[in-house]
Amino acid sequence: MGLPNVIPVVLSGGSGARLWPLSRENHPKQLLPLVGEKTLLQGTVARLDGMEGLGEPLLVCNEVHRFAVAEQLRLLGKQGQILLEPCGRNTAPALTLAALWARRDEDDPVLVVMPADHVIDEGEVFRGAVTRAIALAGQGLAVTFGVAPDCPETGYGYIQCGEKLAFDDEAYALARFVEKPDRETALAYLDAGDYLWNSGIFVMKASTWLSALSAFRPDILAACSDALAGVSQDGDFVRVDRQSFERCPSDSIDYAVMECLAAGLSGLSGAAVIPLSAGWSDIGAWDALWKVFPKCGEGNATRGDVMLESCRNALVVSESRLVACIGLSDVVVVETNDAVLVARHDATQDVKKIVDRLKAEKRSVAQWHRKVHRPWGWYDGVDSGEHFQVKRICVKPGASLSLQMHRHRAEHWVVVTGTAKVTKGDEVFLVSENQSTYIPLGVKHRLENSGIVPLEMIEVQSGSYLGEDDIVRFDDAYGRG
């Protein structure tokens, strides 16, 4: 007997601040290959592959990340739709958008709701647990998964299990959710034996979620319904009305609905929890990443050009140069080409405080890497100084930058590999390897790669102001204003 129509819903709205400096607000952890060759987002999208009745994935992400998310979906060879959030409003509104969109044709699929930044080592075990959850969801239950704790973890929320379900003796009624505890409370949960780590993964019919939301948070449902009433589609992108969504209250799935179902606050069917032992981790901070990395006999985990001497239980990540550590224990060292983090394992939850300070000081290192991804390729800020900036630019085959103009800077382009098709004012011409061209201030211009190999070039900017907001676009293939 086949499974009902099942839609993987991937929530990709987080900023991953606790994994700074690898994770940045505009290129967060779910877009990075932190564990294995796939990014966390790609691993999540592919996690249910092989299950019966599986529909195309539905992704919910921040509008800023839309091109990176679409590209990662394309590299997986998958099609799907991407719902764009104009701003972050937590997981309950994100799931509400997905459920309303899934029901637009009067279908009522089962939604398998997965955050985009988790790691699950045992995919077959996970898919087996999801299959059981789908059966419970078919009876109107909202199902979540709890992970058996193996230590008094203070970085996770917890779920308390109630009585076993009469029709599935491996599942439990959901008693309550509890927030991240202090160590003493976490030890008590571990001793009690009926508490599990909150996985943040949910399985339920779209109608189950919407009915519960109507009962407990009609304000969220109304705001999301209004946002979708003004929907527009741009290829695979689904854009909701910004003003309506900005008015939506912020709340999590746990507190908006699941806690209320567990407490029996309505006549609706309840919530259930299935214990999960599938090598789950939410990679919420550097100490969690250290736990899932392969380690040497001294407990050290490394990536990149790293040399250790007399170190124990260290996580050392190098992105751009040799990092050498001597005589260190229980530390995290992360190097990128524009920032370095050094922290104790037990303090990695506080990395977010550094990010908050960087934002308060309006330092771009909180939002951007030196290498910035664009829908047409990427650029790397190689050097900068007073009135000048040097970038290395790569344009994908068949891609083009917008037709644009700058009010405060001129640009000098030198082609390193490939051939550039250049629009400069009324001229259109080719620039080959080892050739260059100059774009004066105030002149309309466009850069295109009409070849079959990547176009790489060096751009030297000069002028009184070199910010990325000094771009006046006249035409853009990617719909940017």
The CATH architecture assigned to 6-284 reads Alpha-Beta Complex (3.90)
pLDDT at 1: 37
What pLDDT band is residue 169 in, cutting at 50, 70 and 90? confident
State the CB neighbour count (10 A cutoff) for residue 244.
18
Taking the C-alpha atoms of residue 28 and residue 16, their distance in angstroms, rounded to an integer, is: 5
Instruction: Pick the range with the lowest mean pLDDT from 154-168, 232-246, 354-368, 449-463.
Output: 154-168
What is the Cα 308 distance to its own chain's centre?
31
Q: Is the pLDDT of residue 5 over 70?
A: yes
**Both tokens assigned to 83:** 């719902």
For 82-111, letters b (16+ CB in 10 Å) and e give bbbbbeebbbbbbbbbbbbbbbeeeeebbb
Using CB atoms within 10 Å of the CB of residue 232, give its burial: 0 to 12 exposed, 13 to 18 middle, 19+ buried.
exposed
The continuous run of DSSP H or E covering 124 comes out as: helix 123-137
Considering the entire predicted model, what is its pTM?
Answer: 0.90
Taking the C-alpha atoms of residue 334 and residue 301, their distance in angstroms, rounded to an integer, is: 12
Q: Is the pLDDT of residue 265 over 70?
A: no
pLDDT at 435: 97
What pLDDT band is residue 177 in, cutting at 50, 70 and 90? confident
Q: Is the pLDDT of residue 268 over 70?
A: no
Q: Convert the pLDDT of each residue in 328-356 to its tens digit.
A: 999 999 999 999 999 999 999 899 999 99
Q: Convert the pLDDT of each residue in 37-83 to its tens digit.
A: 999 999 999 999 999 889 999 999 999 999 999 999 999 999 899 99
Residue 175's SS3 state is strand
pLDDT at 4: 61
Torsion (CA) 292, 297, 299, 303 in degrees, nearest 10: -60
CATH top-level class of 371-475: mainly beta
Taking the C-alpha atoms of residue 114 and residue 60, their distance in angstroms, rounded to an integer, is: 11
Q: Convert the pLDDT of each residue in 90-140 to its tens digit.
A: 999 999 999 999 999 888 999 999 999 999 999 999 999 999 999 999 999
- Residue 475: C-alpha distances to residues 256, 399, 404, 432, 467 (Å): 42, 14, 7, 24, 20
- Distance spanning both ends of the chain, measured CA to CA: 50
- What does pLDDT average to over the chain? 93
The single-letter code of the amino acid at 16 is G
The domain segmentation of the chain, as residue ranges, is: 6-284, 292-357, 371-475
The continuous run of DSSP H or E covering 137 comes out as: helix 123-137
Q: Convert the pLDDT of each residue in 378-399 to its tens digit.
A: 999 999 999 999 999 999 999 9
CA triplet 25, 29, 33: central angle to 5 degrees? 140
Q: Convert the pLDDT of each residue in 421-462 to its tens digit.
A: 999 999 999 999 999 999 999 999 999 999 999 999 999 999
